[in-house]
Chains A and B, each alone.
Chain A
Amino acid sequence: MAHRFLDFFSSIKLTIVCLMAAIILVFAGTLAQVHYGIHEVQARYFQSLFVWWPADSTGIQLPVFPGGHLLGGVLLANLIAAHFRRFRWTWRKLGIQLTHFGLIIMLAGGLFTDLFAIESFMRLSSGETKNYSEDSRRMELAIIDQSGSELDTVTAIPESMLKSGGAINHESLPFKLLIRHFYPNTELRMLDGKTNLSPAATQGVGSRVAALPLPLATAPNSRDVPAAVVEIVPRQGDRSLGTWLVSELLGAPQTFDAAGKTWKLTMRPARYYKPYSLTLEKFSHDRYVGTEIAKNFSSKVKLNDLDRSENRNVLIYMNHPLRYRGDTFYQAGFEKNDEATVLQVVHNPTFVAPYLACVIVGAGLLIQFAFQFSGFLRRRESASSSL
């Protein structure tokens, strides 16, 4: 049984089938971007075990094709199985072994990056200090208890838990949140005077604006702006505090009173807090003489880490990121007339994998070439001496 299992996984036929399926998947995924946009397609086609159909249905869905994770995983298994199955240690096979080992590291690194890497952004105005970065796509509903004298207690509910008709009943909150509506993408309209639109909520800003659902954003440079209407129901007593509209479009948090405390309610990009902080000392936007064409962007930041007694200036610019505590900060953009910088923050525990894989594969190919070349020279020498 184990033999048949290994025969199947180490088969070259399996490799070819997986590679062909991968070609079809990439082709179908590329076409699907027209309807779903690049990020949705990545999630549905490539970051999944199966491609499910129908895609938009909330009813029964069937797996119609292997997804990127499954194909990549089977290819990786195929490579590992073939590698160990046919493993015969000789010096002449060293190049081949190293090349295969490098490919295994590359595939495994890709899988782990997909599963564990977090990509976010840190926006800093001149002089501003932050100890968190923000997700560029995922939102969170933050409920902030401000009653502490020095610290706020934040309950952050990820956007994925906000489903229409759902409820959030968490021990950290003295009230329940009933999700009356969730709109994956929205536009807000002002309401004052005559209008056919209805207020989105009964309390706060939502009582003066309407929330209009929009189709999901598909353009590469656009993103969805979700909104939700939540009803706040205290645990003690059953008097509802009304419905509240939450959306990133509203910007400023709204406040309400419950259980003798004042709370803040806001939908904001999901935050990733760090055990250190960065302060933007200066952002520089160099231009070519006489034009507004960009030549270089750089951010001089102060890194402050009390735990490790770090307090130093760092210059972040193109191809010179800051790497600290597993995070990598790249210069990504600027805002507010060059008064604010945008740093891309990548937390990837396996970021070394592709570098290591390239070195090992390169070394393997070089060794293999050296053996082949020396054999060729020997054969040529013996052929010429036999003439």
Chain B
Amino acid sequence: MLEIRWHSRAGQGAVTGAKGLADVISTTGKHVQAFAFYGSAKRGAAMTAYNRVDDEMVLNHEKYMKPDYVFVIDPSLTYTADITANHKDDTIYIITTHLDRDELISEAPKLKGKTVYTVDCITIAQETIGRAIPNTPMLGAFMKVSKMYDIEFFKENMKRVLEKLPPKIVDANMLAIQRAYDEVK
């Protein structure tokens, strides 16, 4: 069982990202689950979304999770949200920030000794999509860190997931995914 927790602000696309990831993984025959805690669901409020992936049907519906990966797609949440909740020794963090890893850890000491990757999803999204929607770049970074799928395979499938968007936006998302894949450290 692979488990992922997303930290986001409502409106930044974590739910779409989690469902998109689930959709792509499902095409390879694995079983998936994607859900979120909405709370009061106000735009800008801190929220979490979740993925489960397994070879068997996912029957577990508890919200409690000890994640294998934590995605932080809003830079400020590293400081204000409990992103290390239910940490286990091998939890991997992929964090949106303009800082490099050492700078980030010195500013957020709770990440000390943990496996941390950094990528600036916000800037990437602004420069490619034209809006600060950092969900798809995070998935590009995840593909690099996890080596889950070949990036071309992943992009082809994400194109299908995003097919209802205008073609220009889909292309911009593909650029964003590739840039985050290349830039995550």
A and B found bound together: no
A-binding residues in B (CB < 8 A): none
